[in-house]
Structure formats: C-alpha cells, structure tokens
A and B are shown apart, each in its own frame.
Chain A
Amino acid sequence: RKEVEQDPGPFNVPEGATVAFNCTYSNSASQSFFWYRQDCRKEPKLLMSVYSSGNEDGRFTAQLNRASQYISLLIRDSKLSDSATYLCVVNPQHGNKLVFGAGTILRVKS
C-alpha cells in the first residue's frame, strides 16, 4: 500500500463549480499535512497547510480527518487558472522528510 494515495483524476469541471479531492495516508502517526499545486511543466509549490481544525484560504478549504486518515481539499467557484495537479503531502514523523502523493489532475473548462 502506498504511503499517500490520491485519485489521479482527471477531474473535468466547468468554471464556477465546486470540486473536492481526497487523499488517504497509511501512517497513523503522521504529524503534518499539506497541499501543493503543480502547474503543467512547472515545479510544485505549497498551496496550504492542513490543520486539525480545518482551515480556509479564500476559495480553498482543507480538512483533516485523523480517525479515517484522510485529507481533503475543497475548491469553490473554480477558475480556469485553478487547472493544475494537486499534490497531497504528508510528514510521517517529526522531521523534514515529506511524502508526496502522485497527484490529482484538475481541469477547469469554460
């Protein structure tokens, strides 16, 4: 079983739609969680951290469910510019070694 699993998609949605991605992780002792965004032919960049209480940044909401070992990302009012690959990232233990999921592709169409 992979340490971090994501539905690869692609998710094809119209502009203005709400879309949600889930990600599951295998190590119950994992300490911290993140969503990264990677545009086509570009490097990944941090989108947001995921906190136990859930957190929101504009149209983006991240949630953590420790009991079920999954993380979610909700995007409201999708824009064309949201088209990208979204990477779920987990830090399995205290330290610096992050584990990346393979990514979920989002395509927002007009």
Chain B
Amino acid sequence: DVKVTQSSRYLVKRTGEKVFLECVQDMDHENMFWYRQDPGLGLRLIYFSYDVKMKEKGDIPEGYSVSREKKERFSLILESASTNQTSMYLCASSQQNTGELFFGEGSRLTVL
C-alpha cells in the first residue's frame, strides 16, 4: 500500500521555537508538497519540490523553509514559530504531471 508518512500527528510549540516537520513517501515520486489547511481557507501551498535539492515557493512561503536531501524525504522548517502558524500541515507527493496527490495524515501544530 502506498504511503506518505508524517513524523508527528500533534505538536505543541512555543513562540520563537524552531519546528521541524518531516515527511517520507515510499512511492518513488518526483514531486513533494507542503500545504497548510485552515478553516474557510482550504489548502494553501507553502513549498514544493520536483526533484532532490530543488524547491519552489508556493503561495505562502513566508516564515517557512524546506529541505529535500533525498528523494523520499521532504522537510518543512519553521525557523521561529509564531502563533499565526498554528494550523494543520499536510505533506503530499505525486508523479510528474498528474493530478493525483497522495497525502499524509497531517500534522496539527499549535504554537502558544
């Protein structure tokens, strides 16, 4: 069964802390994505990567960075967490030029 695994389902952090969200996929997909999902706003793309060591900004990259050192792993980093980054974070992967994204179960981050 294909799988996208996110390292943490629930996290609680304090303002100013550095936060790492890890995502691993086992489908050998080229593309990987990080979204955040907020009520009424839907999924918004933070960053995506279409190859190892490649990254592109999505619609809301401010306050975030990413790392893709291996094909199967895509990390989202919050250098200094703020309360407005409290959200559900969803990682996804896909093959090139398809509309089917495979999502992880999500990481619910609360920043106090």
Within the complex, which residue of B31, B42, B45, B99 is in contact with A87, where a contact is CB–CB below 8 Å? B42
Tell me what chain B mostly uses at the interface: helix, strand, loop, or mixed.
Answer: loop
Of A12-20, A37-45, A66-74, the one touching chain B:
A37-45
Query: In whole Å, how far is B37's beta carbon from the nearest beta carbon of chain A?
Result: 9
A97 touches B48 (CB 8 A): yes
How many chain A residues touch B (Cβ–Cβ < 8 Å)? 25
Contact with B along A1-45 (1 / 0, CB 8 A): 000100010000000000000000000000011101000001111
- The complex places the Cα of A94 from the Cα of B97 at a distance, in Å, of 7
* CB pair B58 A102 closer than 8 Å: no
Tell whether B101 is near chain A: CB-to-CB under 8 Å: yes
Q: Whose C-beta in chain B lies nearest to the C-beta of A45? A: B103
Closest chain B residue, CB of each to CB of A41: B106
Residue of B nearest to A88 (CB): B42
Q: Is A89 an interface residue (CB 8 A)?
A: yes
Residues of B near A34 (CB, < 8 A) are 99-100
CB-based contact B105/A43 at 8 Å: yes
Provide the residues of chain B in CB contact with A103, threshold 8 Å. 42
B75 interfacial contact with A, CB 8 Å? no
**Most chain-B CB neighbours within 10 Å: which of A32, A42, A43, A46?**
A43
Q: Which residues does B use to contact A, with CB under 8 Å?
A: 31, 35, 40-45, 48, 50, 58, 90, 94, 96-97, 99-101, 103-106
Interface residues of A (CB under 8 A from B): 4, 8, 32-34, 36, 42-46, 49, 87, 89, 91, 94-103
